[in-house]
Amino acid sequence: MASNGNNHVSTKPPPEPSPLRKAKFFQANMRILVTGGAGFIGSHLVDKLMENEKNEVIVADNYFTGSKDNLKKWIGHPRFELIRHDVTEPLLIEVDQIYHLACPASPIFYKYNPVKTIKTNVIGTLNMLGLAKRTGARSESSSLCFYSHRLLRSTEIHSCTLKTETYWGNANPIGVRSCYDEGKRVAETLMFDYHRQHGIEIRIARIFNTYGPRMNIDDGRVVSNFIAQAIRDEPLTVQLPGTQTRSFCYVSDMVNGLMRLMAGDNTGPINIGNPGEFTMLELAENVKELINPEVKIITVENTPDDPRQRKPDITKAKELLGWEPKVKLRDGLPLMEEDFRDRLGISRKK
Ligand SMILES: O=C(O)[C@H]1O[C@H](OP(=O)(O)OP(=O)(O)OC[C@H]2O[C@@H](n3ccc(=O)[nH]c3=O)[C@H](O)[C@@H]2O)[C@H](O)[C@@H](O)[C@@H]1O
């Protein structure tokens, strides 16, 4: 029997881990960090991740646009942790996967503090890559970093081409939206540099306009604006010219796409969005018909640098991930209406 060097011979086996620790060890074999997990897409992702009993989910959020309300059903759950944390500061924890979603996405929020927005994209992503590098180097499990990116913003007014992943973008570097657009571009560069230089496993999703329950009611984006306006009997404000297009993806489809990407072997970038394209006037007509046929539609001034057309080409997502969206706009809008009515306390007129 081996001596411990103090002439004391131990005959006792090492202590068994406590039943609590054992239970935790065997149940939760994937620790996942979701930055921005108290936000709109993040909180739906958390719901889905928590369905798997093998996942332990940690959310880091500074609550700038996210809210604890979105996570209230998980607070206190043994496999869930919530940290008030700003991703522009380093975070030292052990995780196996990172879904990095933290960043204000609505133009009114990101223009409110553009310096913070670009710091969130650049320094926030650096910090997450640093975390992935550290944990990847130390633990046996692979450490993945995932980064969400909206389509590179196009200011090509007459462009009517589909946006494939090879599109390099034509973004205004000095405009009011540049903090977001350029921040996302640099973040993608950082992701690939860490991947090439340090072997960090990465996934890049290019997320297109997403809608659904839990969007901030007054966050200024078009679907939430129109639905709140229709419920409050206020005119739907179509920004000129009204012929600009967007393609709207329901949040459950988005979350499934993000999880498929994480589970597969492709680094991306890969477009995740719904290719169904609508003009803002068509969207207003749909909201009017489905939610409040009495409501007026008016036109108002637009904001600078508003892209005129946006439609994802999702061939790659279909081929490589076997993913495509399922929820049609006309089915998703009523689901969002229900949530907005609950939160606004306004029920449907009889
Ligand atoms: O939802 C998103 O994912 C995206 O939202 C915004 O991008 P944008 O496409 O301009 O989103 P909205 O602000 O919802 O605007 C969409 C279109 O609706 C129009 N709009 C907006 C608000 C409104 O009340 N009425 C209206 O007609 C805008 O002029 C614009 O053409 C952000 O800039 C992106 O970062 C984000 O990815």
Task: Write the secondary structure of the chain as one string of H (helix), E (strand) and C (coil).
Answer: CCCCCCCCCCCCCCCCCCHHHHHHHHHCCEEEEEECCCCHHHHHHHHHHHCCCCEEEEEEECCCCCCHHHHCCCCCCCCEEEEECCCCCCCCCCCCEEEECCCCCCHHHHHHCHHHHHHHHHHHHHHHHHHHHHHHHHCCCCCEEEEEEECCCECCCCCCCCECCCCCCECCCCCCCHHHHHHHHHHHHHHHHHHHHHCCEEEEEEECCEECCCCCCCCCCHHHHHHHHHHCCCCEEEECCCCCEEECEEHHHHHHHHHHHHHCCCCCCEEECCCCEEEHHHHHHHHHHHHCCCCCEEEECCCCCCCCCCCECCHHHHHHHCCCCCCCHHHHHHHHHHHHHHHHCCCCCC
Q: What is the mean pLDDT of the chain?
A: 86
Domain boundaries 24-344, corresponding CATH code: 3.40.50.720
pLDDT over 90 at 58, yes or no = yes
Q: Considering only CA atoms, which of 71, 78, 77, 87 is closest in space to residue 37?
A: 71
Nearest CA to ligand 1 atom 5: 106
Which tokens belong to 78? 């043994």
CB atoms within 10 A of CB 209: 19
Q: Lowest-pLDDT range, 24-33, 43-52, 169-178, 301-310?
A: 24-33
Q: Lowest-pLDDT range, 88-92, 206-210, 229-233, 315-319?
A: 206-210
pLDDT over 70 at 218, yes or no = yes
Whether the CB of 209 sits within 6 Å of ligand 1: yes
Using DSSP bridges, classify how beta strands 201-207 and 210-211 pair: parallel, antiparallel or unpaired. Answer: unpaired
pLDDT over 80 at 156, yes or no = no
CB atoms within 10 A of CB 14: 6
The answer to whether residue 211 is catalytic is no
Q: Tell me the pLDDT tens digit for each residue of 94-148.
A: 888 999 999 988 888 888 899 999 999 999 999 999 998 888 744 444 445 555 4
What ranges do the domains of the chain cover? 24-344
Tell me the pTM: 0.88
Average pLDDT over residues 294-313: 91
Average pLDDT over residues 72-83: 97
Q: Give CA–CA dist 329/327, Å, rounded.
A: 7
The catalytic residue among 180, 194, 211, 250 is 180
Nearest CA to ligand 1 atom 1: 209
- The pLDDT value recorded for residue 28 is 52
- The pLDDT value recorded for residue 149 is 47
- The pLDDT value recorded for residue 21 is 52
For the CA atoms of 134, 135, 137, 138, the dihedral, rounded to the nearest 10 degrees, stands at 120
Q: Give CA–CA dist 297/232, Å, rounded.
A: 13
Whether the CB of 225 sits within 6 Å of ligand 1: yes
What contacts 295, CB < 8 A, 6 or more positions away? Answer: 229, 230, 233, 234, 235, 236, 287, 288
- The pLDDT value recorded for residue 332 is 98
- The pLDDT value recorded for residue 245 is 95
Q: Tell me the pLDDT tens digit for each residue of 2-26.
A: 444 444 555 666 566 556 555 555 5
Whether the CB of 216 sits within 6 Å of ligand 1: no
Residue type, 54: K
pLDDT over 80 at 234, yes or no = yes
Q: Tell me the pLDDT tens digit for each residue of 177-192.
A: 889 888 888 998 999 9
- The pLDDT value recorded for residue 3 is 42
pLDDT over 70 at 63, yes or no = yes
Between 44 and 143, name the one with better pLDDT. 44
- The pLDDT value recorded for residue 84 is 98
pLDDT over 50 at 150, yes or no = no
Q: Please tell me the distance between residue 114's alpha carbon and the centre of ligand 1 in angstroms.
A: 17
Average pLDDT over residues 249-255: 97
Whether the CB of 221 sits within 6 Å of ligand 1: yes
- The pLDDT value recorded for residue 181 is 85
| Highest averaged pLDDT of the listed ranges 28-42, 162-176, 281-295 | 281-295
Q: Lowest-pLDDT range, 219-223, 261-265, 327-331?
A: 261-265
